[in-house]
Amino acid sequence: MRKLAPFVVLALLTACASPSDGPGAGAFYNTVDPVTKERVPVTRLADAPMAPPITQPMSYAPTDLGLAGMRSGGYVDQRLRRGDVIEVTILDTGEEGMFSSTQSKTLNLGKFTVDSAGTVTMPFVGRQRVLESSPEALQSRIVSGLKGSAVNPQAVVTVVDKPSTGFTVNGDVRSAGRFPLTARKERVLDAIALAGGSSSAPGSATVTLIRGGQQASAPIQRLMNDNAQNVYLLPEDQIFVGKDSPTFTAFGAFKSVGEFEFEPGKLTLAQAFGRAGGLLDDRANARNVYLLRNETVYKPLPSAAEKQKLVTTYSVANKPAVYRIDMKDISNLALMQRFQMAKGDMLYATNAGMVDFAKLFTIYQKSVATAAAPLPGAN
């Protein structure tokens, strides 16, 4: 009996306080929702949905207006300001006018910048005060100045640059900078295109519009799907494109643990295992690998909101879900190639039973650190 005493003590220690770096397989079957206190079911991978639970990507709360809350009629004031650049072209349709000795009936006088005094100096018409003047009004004044040297003069004034009415685009774009507003009345997506486009995929980028003391944000994908989000720009608007790539995390008996970025709809469970380096042969319990997910629950909006052309649904709750992957089951390997990862997913590989048991004999030995996954976005 005395010979069995050490083994009895060891068994008790194993049951009560076996060293481990996370929950064992049995703990997942006793998990409860911390909000509803209901038990969270563990679903086999064969019974799990193969598509990510983003069935309604354009679902937002009624109070989340995005960029639509900063709607405007666009910038239409074309009056000339200091620093504006104009291009002037004159025409003469008369037979004995100023161009009678040439083959062409048009003359491009060139480009002129409105100086600090609000004037420009042009050939034939001299110095003209143009501050607060419209291009049309300046055209009439140029025609009046050409009456003595042209039979039937006409003038075209084109504003080619208005630095005083520009906007800036910064962040995750290919060519950040300041751009002028034109008579075309640029919108947010026009601004991003002028900056070379977003460096990230539409589903991984968020646009923030800053206008004075106001600020609003929306994903680029929302702008592309909802025209009300693609608002007109005003002078001195600031646009910032930020990267918002979804990630998943891997813990436990993986060769590389950490956080990994991915593009929505383009990462399968099998690829996620590959990102994490696969399972540790000497630690992992290949029959009990788990994926934890917060599934979003949607609820229809009131009909009044639908009449205002807002989104049709909004998120009201998150429902935790646990999926079990049995790597020993060949069919699971096939299913892993179809199962799509979602933002915020967590993979956890449990230890084999003998691993935690063996730790009792090495509890005072220093553990060897394993390589961690690189931070998201790191080279």
145: confidence class by pLDDT, cuts 50, 70, 90: confident
Tell me the C-alpha to C-alpha distance, in Å, between residue 275 and each of 45, 131, 146, 343: 19, 61, 73, 15
13: confidence class by pLDDT, cuts 50, 70, 90: very low
Instruction: Give the list of residues 6+ apart from residue 233 with CB closer than 8 angstroms, or none.
Output: 74, 75, 167, 181, 185, 186, 187, 188, 190, 191, 239
Is the model's pLDDT at 374 over the cut of 60?
Answer: yes
Residue 214's SS3 state is strand
Q: What is the pLDDT of residue 176?
A: 94
Cβ pair 253, 276 in contact under 8 A: no
Domain segments of the chain: what residues? 20-49+246-359, 66-76+164-243, 85-161
Backbone angles phi, psi at 355, to 5 degrees: -65, -50
For residue range 242-276, list pLDDT tens digits in order. Answer: 988 889 999 999 999 999 988 877 899 999 999 99
What is the rounded distance in angstroms from the CA atom of residue 17 to the CA atom of residue 298? 42
Q: What is the pLDDT of residue 10?
A: 41
Is it true that 66-76+164-243 and 85-161 share their CATH fold?
no
Is the model's pLDDT at 160 over the cut of 60?
Answer: yes
302: confidence class by pLDDT, cuts 50, 70, 90: low
Q: What is the pLDDT of residue 92?
A: 77
Buried b (16+ CB within 10 A) or exposed e, 367-377: eeeeeebeeee
Residue 28's SS3 state is helix
Q: How far is CA 291 from the centre of its chain?
A: 25
97: confidence class by pLDDT, cuts 50, 70, 90: low
Higher per-residue confidence, 103 vs 243: 243
210: confidence class by pLDDT, cuts 50, 70, 90: very high
For residue range 43-87, list pLDDT tens digits in order. Answer: 999 999 876 655 444 556 667 889 999 998 888 777 898 888 999
CATH of 85-161, one of 3.30.1950.10, 3.40.220.10, 3.40.50.300, 3.40.50.620: 3.30.1950.10
Q: What is the pLDDT of residue 7?
A: 39
Q: Model pTM greater than 0.95?
A: no
What is the rounded distance in angstroms from the CA atom of residue 130 to the CA atom of residue 128? 6
Is the model's pLDDT at 8 over the cut of 50?
Answer: no
Share the mean pLDDT of the chain.
81
Cβ pair 192, 213 in contact under 8 A: no
What sign for the dihedral angle of Cα 17, 22, 27, 30? positive
Higher per-residue confidence, 24 vs 324: 324
Q: What is the pLDDT of residue 317?
A: 65
- Long-range contacts of range 333-338, CB-CB < 8 Å, 24 or more positions apart? 333/270, 335/45, 335/46, 335/48, 335/50, 335/269, 336/45, 336/268, 336/269, 336/270, 336/273, 337/268, 337/269, 337/270, 338/50, 338/268
**What's the CATH code, domain 20-49+246-359?**
3.10.560.10
What sign for the dihedral angle of Cα 29, 33, 37, 41? negative
For residue range 322-373, list pLDDT tens digits in order. Answer: 999 999 999 999 999 999 998 899 999 998 877 665 655 555 455 555 555 5
Higher per-residue confidence, 191 vs 37: 191
CATH architecture of residue range(s) 66-76+164-243: Roll (3.10)
